A and B are shown apart, each in its own frame.
Chain A
Amino acid sequence: MTLNADEAARFAALLEENQDALVSAWTDRVTTSLRGRLSHAELQRQTSELRRGFQQALAGTAQGISDAAAAELRAQLSELSASRARQGFSATETAVSVFAFKEAVLATLDSSGRNDATTLRDYVAFSSFVDDAALFTFDSYVRVREELIADQAEQLLELSTPVVKLWEGVVAVPLVGTLDSARAQVVMERLLQTLVDTGSPYAIIDITGVPAVDTQVAQHILKTVVAARLMGADCIISGIRPQIAQTIVALGIEFGDIATKASLADALRYVLAQTGKKGR
């Protein structure tokens, strides 16, 4: 059910005439539903802006939330859901903030004694307009949450793969935990980028924190080493603990001519000896 042009215009007028009463009734309801987690003043500012948004959309004879005349209102609702999502409110709490507008409007109609048939029919049409607006808010809330979660996952990935400059000309990447394909990709990219940024001829890949080196992990490491070599850098694998060494041997993985060291310190000592030789 959509609003026709007359209904929209009549409602726009009603929202204008009763703006103070509406904003105050709406703010009270939202404040209660959020149980005081946002201040009354903050919510009053939000509802008063949203009231203006609804009023202008209807004055522009928007018949539904996806109309061009409702573009400004949609932007406001998206902003509302984004800030609520970031503040940790639930999708329901966010949508209820919009639904509450209907109750505020109904209360205002009641108290002004307007209960003629036209007003009621207008109200029903208006009510479905608000429902759509609330669903729109719900959808954009979900979208924002998904983006937030994806961002956090990415940040975690990056956090867990720091590439550090260990020494002049030597960068190191300590691998920690499970090296799945997504992380292996991030590790490789960040290592190669750091090699470019620092112009380092040596990279140490430290696997002390990797609980098991299987063929997939080995393959990721081998690919990274090959890519680093193509960029003119030598890789050393360090942190190979005894149980990992024995497992790698039994599995049949060969690291070929890649230098491997028991500890990060050994690897650094090895690199410094190499550069010492070259310097001479």
Chain B
Amino acid sequence: MNDQGERVEVTSDRDVVRVRQLVRTAAVAVKLSLVDQTKLVTAASELARNTLVYGGGGWVEVAPVDSGRRKGIRIVFADQGPGIADLDLALTDGYTTGGGLGLGLSGARRLVDEFDIATAVGEGTTITVTKWCR
């Protein structure tokens, strides 16, 4: 059910702001609670910035999903950057190669219901997250 998906190319800080706005609008549309909206927007902000900063840019796609039982939002973040060599390490709280807090990736995983990451060194990284309405 991804026919209503919207895609944003991510090549600058402005695009990260656009991703946040797009996710906020989509989250409101499927009636996510205020807390869940905020969590999803924050996770999207983290992952989109990683796409920009570490992936060297890429795209983000936001789409409503419907399992039949409940509705939600699915977001895909894709880049063709260097990939992540040690995923466990990258997902460790406080681990950063860019002088950040090292909480973006691990924190984003805690902020969503489903978190899937496909990465290969030299090929890029694709992260898919889903947040369901309660």
Contact = CB atoms under 8 A, between A and B. Distances in A.
B68 interface: no
B34 A243 contact: yes
A93 to B, nearest CB: 30
A211 B37 CA distance: 10
Contact of B111 (A181, A242, A250): A250
A258 to B, nearest CB: 14
B41 interface: yes
B111 A215 contact: no
Nearest to A246: B35
Contacts of A152: none
Contacts of B108: 251
Contacts of B74: none
Contacts of B7: none
Interface in A140-196: 178, 180-181
A253 B101 contact: yes
Contacts of B35: 242-243, 246-247
Contact of B101 (A180, A219, A244, A247): A219
B131 interface: no
Contacts of B71: none
Contacts of A253: 101, 103, 107
B126 to A, nearest CB: 21
Contacts of A212: 20, 38, 41-42, 45
B10 to A, nearest CB: 15
Main SS at interface, chain B? helix
B93 to A, nearest CB: 5
A250 B101 contact: no
Contact of A251 (B13, B20, B100, B103): B103
Contacts of B31: none
B107 A180 contact: no
Interface in B79-106: 93, 100-101, 103-104, 106
A252 B93 contact: yes
A216 interface: yes
A219 B107 CA distance: 14
B100 A214 contact: no
B8 interface: no
Contacts of B93: 252
Contact of A215 (B13, B34, B41, B107): B107
B100 A243 contact: no
Contacts of A12: none
A214 B13 contact: no
B106 A252 contact: yes
Contact of B107 (A242, A243, A244, A252): A252
Given A211-B38, A242-B35, A252-B110, 13 more contacts: A180-B17, A211-B24, A212-B38, A212-B41, A212-B45, A214-B45, A214-B46, A215-B101, A216-B100, A243-B37, A250-B39, A251-B110, A252-B106
Interface of A: 178, 180-181, 211-216, 218-219, 242-244, 246-247, 250-253
The 7 A-B residue pairs with the shortest CB-CB distance, nearest first, are A251-B107, A243-B38, A214-B45, A243-B35, A215-B101, A250-B110, A252-B103
5 contacts: A219-B100, A250-B39, A251-B103, A252-B106, A253-B107
